Amino acid sequence: MRILRDGRKGDILSQYVAFTRVCKEQVALHGRTQKAVEEIVRICRTTDVLAEYMKSREKEVKDIMFTLYDEEEILRRHDITVATAAAKEAEQRGISIGFSQGMSQGISQGISQGISQGISQGISQGISQGISQGIVTSLRNLIANSGMTQAQAMDMLGIEQGERDKYAAMMA
């Protein structure tokens, strides 16, 4: 009978904790790649971390790790695809709302300042506001759906450095 944890170095639980630490280190160095899996198994065998298990089930361990890494990558890519589609939809919706608001605002201003000037200004402001609102909505969706930071989301949408403070303020 094996003891899971008896407080001595090398018990099963301590070895599992060491295994997870090795996994995190190697994934940080190599990403979720075959190289990382190979290094995890090599390091565990040479440092006597779950060595008996690794020796008897090395192929199974590698297969499971590859499957997990592939599933995580597929989910990550799916999340980014969904977030990007949602961002594009939100941007289009923002443009449409902005255009409608701009038209409405332009017509109101046009009555008091001249129909021609008002419509032109309203459409321009509305489209600009709509685009800005669409970009803010896109940023929020990317952050919420993909776990990106604000800076990563701005990078993904190609927002120029000079515009970032404006959008950050709009998101607050």
pLDDT of residue 1: 40
Buried residues in 17-36 as b, exposed as e (16+ CB within 10 A)? ebbeebbeebbeeeebeeeb
Long-range contacts of 47-52 (CB under 8 A, 24+ apart): 47/18, 47/22, 48/10, 49/15, 49/18, 49/19, 49/22, 50/15, 50/16, 50/18, 50/19
In this predicted structure, the answer to whether residue 139 has a pLDDT above a threshold of 60 is yes
- Rounded to two decimals, what is the model's pTM? 0.38
In this predicted structure, the answer to whether residue 151 has a pLDDT above a threshold of 90 is yes
Higher-scoring residue by pLDDT: 81, 167: 167
pLDDT of residue 165: 94
Q: Where are the domains of the chain?
A: 12-72, 78-171
Query: What type of residue is 77?
Result: R
